[in-house]
Amino acid sequence: MSIGIKNFILASASPQRISLLRQIGFEPERICPADIDETTQKGEKPLPYVRRMALQKATHIANLNPKHNVLACDTVVCAGNRIIHKSKNDKEQREVMKLLSGRTHKVISSVCLIDKNGKAHQRTVSTRITMKRLSDEELDEYVKDGEWKGVCGYKIEGKMAGYVSRLVGDYSSVVGLPLNETMNLLKGVGIK
Contacts of 40 (CB under 8 A, 6+ apart): 49, 83, 85
d(CA 162, CA 94): 17
Q: Which SS3 state, helix, strand or coil, does residue 124 take?
A: strand
**Neighbour-count burial of 54, counting CB atoms closer than 10 A to its CB (0-12 exposed, 13-18 middle, 19+ buried):** buried
Type of residue found at 94: R
Q: Which of 35, 37, 74, 170 is labelled catalytic?
A: 74
d(CA 117, CA 115): 5
CB 121 within 8 A of CB 188: yes
CB 167 within 8 A of CB 63: no
| Annotation says 35 is catalytic | no
d(CA 54, CA 68): 17
- CA distances in angstroms from 32 to 102, 146, 166, listed in the order given: 38, 26, 35
d(CA 22, CA 188): 18
Provide the annotated active-site residues: 74
